[in-house]
Structure 1
Amino acid sequence: MSTALLVDASCDLPLDYIESNNIHILPITIRIDDKDYLDEKDPESLAYFYSQGLLSRERKAASTPFSSEQTSDYVLDKLVNSHEFALCISVTRLRSPIYDFMNDAARRVMNEYHNHLERPGHFAMRVVNSANMFTGQGLLAVYAVELLKKGLSKSELRKNVEDFKQYITAYLVPSDIYYIRARALEKGEKSVSLGAALAGKMLDIHPVLCCRNDETFPVAKKRGHEAALQAMFEAVAGQVKEGLKFPFVVVSVAGELATLENYPGYKLVVEACEKHQVTLISCVSSLTGGVNMGPGSINISFAAESHPLAK
């Protein structure tokens, strides 16, 4: 019997990595206009959505995670009989109810799993708030995978994952700050003011946003989308050269994966990772990420004592 990792669909990792490392995906329902879709990280579905412009600002879009009951049903149906332990890693609890849903589900699973067990033994389930999102959550899942390869016990695994998450930084450059404001307003959030959105549009100001330890905030503002990307990638490449807490970097793009190579500064990250034996994992953003960040947005994560744009 093995340990399963369970993440929600907003976690940015390539599907082949997910499938080869016993990571299970808790789907998220995406509603676009009046039609529902299931975000399960299928590459063909992702390519279709981004190529057809289905996540454009003109469309109404929202994401709805599995409820606590749906989550517990998923675990009881798919994990209890094939694994002894499930570690669930959620998107930041301050941006989504998924962490709370997972905890509620864990209580139900622990009370009911004996009724579903078709093998000898026991089952346990624990939940960790990643304190991050998208590639940041993905990087924490990669860290858990590497710990499992070392044969850590259930308690050691959870403790190490909890201790490590404080070092993860996710940078994001949205292609359209107006898009993020529109989606935030649909959820009742006012994290981006109308004035900031208007100023950004008129002056072509693009922020570099940072998510770290459950907080999301701007760390740089540049005139032009490419300048913001350049600043972000240069900062990450510099941090790779300076040293990381964990030799992995995860990057995602809300669009075609091949376009990453065309963005200014990305080559610096690739070269730095190659030179310093850091594994660079790239993927297309989840539909959930695309809905919330906007098409064309780029998100990159790494682990370090602090983040370079804070210096």
Structure 2
Amino acid sequence: MTATLDAGPAGPASIALAPETMATAPKAARTGIVIDASIDVSADFLADPDVAVIPIPIRIGGSTYIDQHDPEASARYMRENGNGEGVAGQSIPLDAAQMRNFFIERFALDYDSVYCLTITSTRSPIHDACSEGSSLALAHIRGLRQVADMRRPFQFRVIDTRNMFAGSGIAAMALRDMLAAQMSPKDVRAELLRIVDSTYTYYIPDDLGYARTRSRVRGDRSIKLASVVLGSALAIKPIIRGYQGDTHPVSKYRGRAQSWGKLFKFAARRVAEGQLHTPHVIVSYAGAMGELHATPELGELRQACERAGVSLHVLQMSITGMMNIGPGGLTLAYSGPVPNEAP
């Protein structure tokens, strides 16, 4: 779902604009991208000056972590919660009023168009808070732009990616490609929605008990109690597919090595078919990255991507993702046609 806000020159004239803010008013139109911090994207994406990240505070016991794709914060989280302490964690996303302030401060005068991408609204309140916050910001942004004599319309689109973590990152990175190619706003919207509707995210939790507890907090019932009891005894690792806001298990294997290997080989076949809707595959991991890079099948996926001209992004999972999936959890995502097989 998308929410589009348009602000013309009309608006309240009583809003005063600070002199230092007026001095920074831009001369050319710019388009910004804002993502919530749980979305897994590459470092070069985050380094783009037109990208902003909505931080998500995480509270575990007496400790607070700010999820905003900061490597030091992620390392601290893993160091202090490597034994599953995050199962009792609580995310405290910004509410609508805080979103309003964030949007005004970051985008009101420096941009004419903004795309805000969030993880699926079926598992998180962030999308609703962003939608409400952008609506609250609109009147104030109109006033600021009038005082700055900015007559160009202002557009703010809130996009529900209908996925989580690596899956939401696919839409974000595809959007950046479209903006770099200077596609028209109409074409961007149509293509972005096509990608959102065709993105598949595969989750492999390492600890089924942890993952079930956390998933139920999000309203996800894809991991059953019987599966946890049996899976823990036999070291079963399920592969769970996320698609269009829903999740369900599609296969299961004995041990991490087998489940990871099957998933990476499956993804390599999808890449080799040459039908991906955007040239990106994202893998995010809630653990030491050396463990992931040592997997032989990941090397096979990397080679398949190189041959096909697809970018493979192997990333540290966001703190929010690590808290929800658990230590050792993995996600992989791409956008493409309906798969003809399960991993």
TM-score of the superposed pair, with normalisation by structure 1 = 0.94
Which moves more between the two structures, 115-124 or 90-99? 115-124
1:31 is displaced (CA, Å) by 0.7
Match of 2:150 among 73, 95, 120: 120
Report 1:131-146 matches (<5 A): 131-146=162-177
1:7 is displaced (CA, Å) by 0.8
Question: Hey, what's the Cα distance between the residues in 2 that align with 1:128 and 1:111?
Answer: 21
Report 1:197-212 matches (<5 A): 197-212=228-243
Q: Find the residue that maps to 2:112 and give its secondary structure.
A: strand
Question: Are 2:100 and 2:133, in contact at CA under 8 Å, matched by a contact in 1?
Answer: yes
Match of 1:86 among 92, 107, 114: 114
Pair 228,119 (structure 1): closer, same or farther in 2 beyond 3 Å = farther
Residue 46 of structure 1: aligned partner: 74
1:221 is displaced (CA, Å) by 0.5
1:119 is displaced (CA, Å) by 5.4
Q: Residues 181-225 of structure 1: CA distance to partner in whole angstroms, max 9, x if unpaired?
A: 122345565442222111110121110111111111111110112
Q: Which amino acid aligns with 1:107?
A: S
Q: Residues 95-120 of structure 1: CA distance to partner in whole angstroms, max 9, x if unpaired?
A: 11111111111211222212333451
- The unaligned stretches of length 5 or more in structure 1 are none
Residue 56 of structure 1: aligned partner: 83
Pair 169,158 (structure 1): closer, same or farther in 2 beyond 3 Å = same
Pair 146,96 (structure 1): closer, same or farther in 2 beyond 3 Å = same
Q: Find the residue that maps to 2:92 and give its secondary structure.
A: strand
- The unaligned stretches of length 5 or more in structure 2 are 1-28
Pair 124,240 (structure 1): closer, same or farther in 2 beyond 3 Å = same
Question: Hey, what's the Cα distance between the residues in 2 that align with 1:259 and 1:234?
Answer: 17
**Is 1:95 aligned to 2:123, yes or no?**
yes
**Is 1:172 aligned to 2:199, yes or no?**
no
Residue 30 of structure 2: aligned partner: 2
Q: Find the residue that maps to 2:262 and give its secondary structure.
A: helix
Residue 298 of structure 1: aligned partner: 330
Q: Find the residue that maps to 1:83 and give its secondary structure.
A: coil
Residue 283 of structure 1: aligned partner: 315
Q: Find the residue that maps to 1:178 and give its secondary structure.
A: helix
Residue 50 of structure 2: aligned partner: 22
Question: Hey, what's the Cα distance between the residues in 1 that align with 2:290 and 2:211?
Answer: 24
Which moves more between the two structures, 74-83 or 13-22? 13-22
Q: Find the residue that maps to 1:296 and give its secondary structure.
A: coil
Q: Residues 271-293 of structure 1: CA distance to partner in whole angstroms, max 9, x if unpaired?
A: 11111111111210000000001
Which moves more between the two structures, 276-285 or 149-158? 149-158
**Is 1:248 aligned to 2:280, yes or no?**
yes
Report 1:146-165 matches (<5 A): 146-165=177-196
Match of 1:266 among 289, 298, 301: 298
Q: Find the residue that maps to 1:116 and give its secondary structure.
A: helix
Question: Hey, what's the Cα distance between the residues in 2 that align with 1:120 and 1:62?
Answer: 41
Question: Hey, what's the Cα distance between the residues in 2 that align with 1:190 and 1:40?
Answer: 28
Question: Hey, what's the Cα distance between the residues in 1 that align with 2:213 and 2:219?
Answer: 10
Question: Are 1:55 and 1:290, in contact at CA under 8 Å, matched by a contact in 2?
Answer: no
Pair 175,241 (structure 1): closer, same or farther in 2 beyond 3 Å = same
**Which protein is bigger by CA-based radius of gyration?**
2
Which moves more between the two structures, 127-136 or 107-116? 107-116
1:308 is displaced (CA, Å) by 4.9
Question: Hey, what's the Cα distance between the residues in 2 that align with 1:201 and 1:89?
Answer: 36
Q: Which amino acid aligns with 1:110?
A: L
Q: Which amino acid aligns with 1:251?
A: V
Q: Residues 145-174 of structure 1: CA distance to partner in whole angstroms, max 9, x if unpaired?
A: 011012123333223211221111111111
**Is 1:236 aligned to 2:267, yes or no?**
yes
Question: Hey, what's the Cα distance between the residues in 2 that align with 1:106 and 1:247?
Answer: 31
Residue 18 of structure 2: aligned partner: none
Residue 69 of structure 1: aligned partner: 97
Pair 248,21 (structure 1): closer, same or farther in 2 beyond 3 Å = farther
Question: Hey, what's the Cα distance between the residues in 2 that align with 1:288 and 1:13?
Answer: 13
Residue 217 of structure 1: aligned partner: 248
TM-score of the superposed pair, with normalisation by structure 2 = 0.85
Q: How many residues align?
A: 310
